[in-house]
Structure 1
Amino acid sequence: MLDRIKVAAQYCIPQHLISRLAGRFAQAEAGKLTQAAISWFIKRYKVNMSEAEQESPADYASFNAFFTRPLKAGMRPIIEGDEQLAHPVDGAVSQLGDIEQGRVFQAKGHDFSARELLGGDKALAEEFRDGKFATIYLSPSDYHRIHMPCKGTLRQMVYVPGDLFSVNPLTAQNVPNLFARNERVAAIFDTEQGPMAMVLVGATIVASIETVWAGTITPPRGKQVFSWDYHNNPITLDKGEEMGRFKLGSTVVMLFAKDAIDFAEGLSAEQTTRMGELFATRK
C-alpha cells in the first residue's frame, strides 16, 4: 500500500517546480546552511568521502559542487584494450539485454520505444534495431560524473522535454514508459563498433544535466524537441573521459547497434557497477 501511495503521489506533485527550487538551492553558496545540507546528505546516504578529491564538506561552496565532486586520481582505473568497453558510471544495472522489435525492456510488464526515447527520430532509432541496451541507475550516494565506455566521436545531441518522475527501482516497476517520458538528453556517438547512444535521463529534483561540450542543457520550456548536429564540429572523447554529469542523481540508458557488443560475462540486473571496470566487449 505504501509503495502505491509513493508512486501515485508523483503524478500529483508539481515536478518541474520542485526541481527548479531544488536546483536553486543546490547552486546557492549559502555558507553554513550549505555545509549542513552536505553533512546531512553524507550521513543519510552513507557517501564514501574517502574516495573524493576533497573529503570535507567545508571544501564545497555549493551542494552542486559536492554532488558532482571529482574522485582522487587513480580511484577508478579504466579497463585496458581496444576491444573492451568500460562501465560509464558508478551505479547499479536496472536492466540490460536485447532491443526487441524496437522496444527496450523497463521492468516486468513495462517496456518503451527506442524511437520515443531518442526524441521520435525514426531513422536514428533504426540504427539500434535488434541491438542491445543497458539501463544503469545512479543512487544518491554514487559518484555522479558520466564517462565514455569507449572512444567515440559525437555526431548529434538531442534534448527531449518531459516529466520528472523519480527513476528509482520502485518507480521503474510501476510507471509505464518511464525513461521515454522523463526529460532527457541523448548523445549519439560514432564508435569502432558502430553507433552508440548515451541517454541521460532527468528525474525529480535533478536540477540539471550537463555535457562537457555544451555545459548545462537548458532549452526553453515547452514540448519541442531540440537537436544539435556536430558533423561540422566533431568532438572526439577517449575511453574513460568524462562526457557529462548529473546535478542530483538519475539514470543512463545506453543503446548499441546489432551485433556490436557482448556484455561482460555475469553482468545482470541489480548488479553494482563501478566506472572503468569491464562492461562489454566489441564483437
Structure 2
Amino acid sequence: MLNQLKAIIQYLLPKQLLTSLFGWLANKRLGRVTTWMIIGFCKLYKIDLNEAKLTDAKEYKTFNDFFARELKADARPIDDAANSIVMPADGVLSQFGHIQDNLLLQAKGHFYSLEALLACHPDMIKFFKDGSFATTYLSPKNYHRFHMPCDGILREMIYVPGSLFSVNKATTESIPNIFARNERVICLFETAFGPMVQIMVGATIVGSIELKWEGVITPPRDGVMKRWTYAGNVKLAKGEDMGCFKLGSTVITLFASNAIEFDNHLKLGDVTRVGQKLAERI
C-alpha cells in the first residue's frame, strides 16, 4: 500500500521541472552556502570525503562538483584476474540474472523487454536475447561515477529521451517498465567475449548524465533521440572511469548469451563497490 502511494506521488510530481531546478541550483557557485550544503549532505548520508581526491568540502565550487567527485587512485582496487568482470558502480545490486528470451526482471512480478529498454534497436536486441543482465542502483549516498566492467571498444551510443521517475526500491516494485520509460544513455561495446552494453538511466533530480568522451549528454532535454557511432577510437580498460551522474541513479549492464557467469557469492541486495568481481567470462 505504501509503495502504491509513493508511485501515485511519482506520477503527480512535476519531475522535469524539479530536475531542471535542482540541476540549475547544483551548478551555481554559492560560496559558503555550497560548502554548508555539502557538509550537511555528507552528515545526512554518512559520506566519507577522505576517500575523495578533494577531501575538504570548501574545495568544491559547486554542488555538482561534489556529486561528480573523483576518488583517490587506490580507493577502489580493480580485480585484476584476466577473466574477471567487475562492478561498474558503488550502490546496490538490485537485480541480476538471465534474460528470459527478451525479458528482464525489474522487481518481483515486474518484467520489461529488451525492445523497450534498447529503443527497438534490432542488432542490440539480437545480441542480448537470452543473455545476462545486472542492475546497480546508486542512492544519494553513493559515489556517483560509473566505470567499465571489462576492457571494451565503444561502437555506438544512443540517448533515449523519457520520463524521470525515481528508481528506488519502492518505485521499481510499483511502476511498470520504469527503466524503459525513463531517459537513458545506451553504450554498446565490443569486448573479448562479445558485445556488452552499459546503460545509464536518468531519474528525478539527476540533473545531468556526463560521459568522458562526449561530455554532458543531458541536459538539454529536447525530447529527441540521438545516436553516435564510433570507429574504434574510444577504447576503455576494465575499471576505467566512464563518466558520472550528477546525483545517483541506475546502471544496467547487459551481456550476450553464454558469455559470462556471475560470481557464485552474489545475492540480491548486495552492496557493490567499483572494481569488485561481478562475473567472469566463459
Normalising by structure 1, we get a TM-score of 0.96
Check the 8 A contact 1:156/1:227 in 2, yes or no. Answer: yes
User: Structure 1 residues 224, 108: CA separation in 2 closer, same or farther (over 3 Å shift)?
Assistant: same
CA distance in 2, matches of 1:171, 1:187: 25
User: Structure 1 residues 136, 116: CA separation in 2 closer, same or farther (over 3 Å shift)?
Assistant: same
SS in 1 for 2:254: strand
Identity of aligned residues (%): 48
Deviations 1:179-218 (A, max 9, x none): 1100000000000011000000000000010111001103
Cα shift at 1:123: 2.2
User: Structure 1 residues 45, 15: CA separation in 2 closer, same or farther (over 3 Å shift)?
Assistant: same
* Aligned ranges 1:1-283 → 2 under 5 Å: 1-218=1-218, 221-231=221-231, 234-283=233-282
Cα shift at 1:50: 2.0
Cα shift at 1:93: 0.3
Check the 8 A contact 1:119/1:225 in 2, yes or no. Answer: no
Check the 8 A contact 2:156/2:227 in 1, yes or no. Answer: yes
CA distance in 2, matches of 1:179, 1:272: 20
Q: How many residues were matched structurally?
A: 282
CA distance in 2, matches of 1:96, 1:2: 25
User: Structure 1 residues 219, 48: CA separation in 2 closer, same or farther (over 3 Å shift)?
Assistant: closer
Cα shift at 1:240: 1.1
Give the AA of the match of 1:55: T
Check the 8 A contact 1:119/1:159 in 2, yes or no. Answer: no
SS in 2 for 1:44: helix
SS in 1 for 2:128: coil
Cα shift at 1:6: 2.1
SS in 2 for 1:5: helix
SS in 2 for 1:7: helix
CA distance in 2, matches of 1:245, 1:151: 19
Check the 8 A contact 2:3/2:174 in 1, yes or no. Answer: no
Unaligned stretches of 5+ residues in structure 2: none
Check the 8 A contact 2:3/2:171 in 1, yes or no. Answer: no
Cα shift at 1:53: 1.6
Check the 8 A contact 2:144/2:248 in 1, yes or no. Answer: yes
CA distance in 1, matches of 2:229, 2:215: 16
Cα shift at 1:7: 1.8
Unaligned stretches of 5+ residues in structure 1: none
